[in-house]
Structure 1
Amino acid sequence: MSLPSLLWTDLRSNTLEPSPVGELKAHFRLQHQAGTLSLLQGIERDPPLLACFEYDYPNLSGLKALRATKQAYPSLPILMLTLQHSEALAVWAFRTRVWDYLVKPVSEQELWRRIRQLLQVLPTNLVTGRRIAMPAPLIPREARIEVPGRSARVAEEALNYVQGHYAEVLRLEDVAQCCRMSVWELSRSFKRVHGLTFREYLCQYRLRRALELLSNTHVTICEAASAAGFRNASHFTRLFRQRMGVTPSQFRMGRPVRRPCPEDA
């Protein structure tokens, strides 16, 4: 069976130092891209399952390349590894909607653990395409570097509301009122920015929280469902099996999921 493809964009100044990404050959078919020349053309020729941008000291052109890649392929999960770290850089990364931001040194084992979590919500069949399954960054508005337009601002406010209230009974009318706009306007703005409906995003977000809770063996399935915002354990089990291809009990026993978090509930 062929290995999934990982695009490794190596933007380090010192490429002689070993990289944890380069040690993932047992799990991926690595597309090693040194520099940014022909980066997007390479993705077009051989679409990867995910991408990793590795820096030691990021410069402007390297960061622009990551942002341009995310804009051109919004459903492509991107991991960012950097040696130089600052709060401003981390804010920028998550505002650009990277999947994960890691500060080196990072071991191969830690990197693979992070990627395994991502693979649980990604399909392996690239022909059918991928839905956006990106976690919303928990970043205060005053810390964001870019000033978003109206649609982006509304969508971010809706995401922040979900993060604070996903465990509650959450109605679209309440979110729209919080964003000071009509339900129709909110739905249109959210779909335009994120490429999926608010209801679809909420379902995926709750399932992601449930997956995290199910990893803790001290939490029962009913407790995980309730804490993630699902009021009915039977409905949660049916939905989980529909979306993931396994039941919550099978997932807890180590059965791999066969599907991403797909359409709305």
Structure 2
Amino acid sequence: MIKPRLFWVDLTLSVKHAELPAVFTESCEVEICPDASQINNFIDRNSIDCICFDIDYPDHRSLNLLRKTKMRYPQVPILLLTLQHSESLAVWAFRTRVLDFLVKPLTRGEFHRCLQTIRYVKKITPNQRPRTQTDNVAPIPPEIPLTMRTDDVQLLPALYFVKQNFRYKIRSEAVSDLCNMSPFRFSRSFREQYGITFQDYVVRYRILESCRLLEDPNANITDVAYAVGFNDASYFSRTFRRYVGTTPSAFCTEQRDRLDNGSDAAYIRAILNLPDDRAAS
């Protein structure tokens, strides 16, 4: 069986993830894009079956490049390969007419399902009318940062892990492994980068999530405490007051009074002195 010709656009920031999964090279004839600014020139001069945008940590620049490529070549299937397991990003990808949204690490089963889709599209494309360029632009999710600093990349797995696991006990030693650092180096790097310790960040993130839950006028303080990872409601209330400046019940009442206007998430984040974790969404 003839291998599909895949054009790989490497927009990864992390050296650790800047390598196409082996399943791609085993089953596809891969052409590597040497320069993202030359994508159009390569596509215009070559016959390809699919384009794979490998974007470990998406930002506006990388997603806009993908979108512009799809608008210019609507007939060419595009894959988005990323580390970010984000529902809003997946929705954006499919609204942008991406063929498949793939999250690393990719299993062989997921890849072969994707490969079957690529082959099916290749088979039916000659019998379809050429697609026209579309001006339908899906807005990039608000949590996606405008730019991604390379300096942040090594610590992003820690922010992402907290975002997914703040309800449970989080050990710094386990998270430092995700960042390929020793516990000592991880602790020092996190404090230098964000100005607070990692464990302090975990507590502040839990408080941030509790603020979101307390927007519900019927919220129960004890239920909220346990939902965000605290094992004691009274300790949660003291911690909440220390960081927010008011009690959970008073905050809940305040949110109920201003229900028509909604809460100011950015203001709450600023109060908590939380670093911007949008890239970990």
TM-score over 0.5 for the alignment? no
**TM value normalised by structure 1:** 0.44
Higher relative contact order structure (alpha carbons within 8 Å, sequence separation ≥ 6) = 2
For the pair shown, the structure with the greater C-alpha radius of gyration is 2
**Where is the helix percentage greater, Structure 1 or Structure 2?**
2
